Amino acid sequence: MTDRTEYDRFVVERSTRLLRFAYLLTGDWAAAEDLLQTALVKVWFAWARVRGDAEAYVRRTIVNTYVSWRRRRWTGEIPQTVPDRPDGPDRMTEYVERDALWRMLAELPRRQRAVLVLRYFEDLTEAQVAETLGVSVGTVKSQASKGLAKLRTSAALSDRKELVP
């Protein structure tokens, strides 16, 4: 894949899906955009060496970049908008449950979180996750098991076991 036009086409076609993947890792759209942009810059320099499934290569670059990022001291503001009046049925319970799951997912170690996102949100097989992360299938299984166990024992999710597979 030595042609830069192939890289441009790849970015245009896959960036939405890759941004969603980065968001699932970071839980923040701005951080996800930064993560994706950083990973795509790294891949641009290595594009001539990319062989096989380019999306898997980029996913692995995203995960490796995410895992290696230092925690920032200032996380920034999280803007909130409150509607003047409700437009439909009250969906607060759904939001509260989703927020509890996101908070617990954010507390997992980065490698466990990456395994759970790839396995359950991206719906990859254990072998595909192992290949993406460059680890054995056994490592994927153990990291997924440990991550799910932590989610199951979470106080925030203790009364909502159906949220965790």
Residue 98 sits in a domain whose CATH number is: 1.10.10.10
Does residue 30 lie within any of the structural domains? yes
pLDDT at 157: 55
How many domains in the chain? 2
Which ranges constitute the DSSP H helices of 29-152? Answer: 29-46, 54-68, 92-107, 110-116, 126-133, 137-152
Asked if 96 and 159 sit in the same domain, the reply is yes
What angle do the packed helices 137-152 and 92-107 form, to 10 degrees?
130
Asked if 64 and 97 sit in the same domain, the reply is no
Asked if 97 and 63 sit in the same domain, the reply is no
Tens of pLDDT along the chain (165 residues)?
457 788 899 999 999 999 999 999 988 899 999 999 999 999 999 898 888 888 999 999 999 999 887 655 455 666 677 666 666 666 777 888 888 888 888 889 999 999 999 998 888 999 999 999 999 999 999 999 999 998 888 755 555 555 555
Q: Please provide residue 150's backbone torsions phi and psi, each rounded to the nearest 5 degrees.
A: -65, -40
Q: CA nearest 114: which of 152, 54, 46, 65?
A: 65
Asked if 18 and 52 sit in the same domain, the reply is yes
Asked if 47 and 13 sit in the same domain, the reply is yes
Q: Structural domain of residue 64, as residue ranges?
A: 4-68
CATH of the domain at 64: 1.10.1740.10
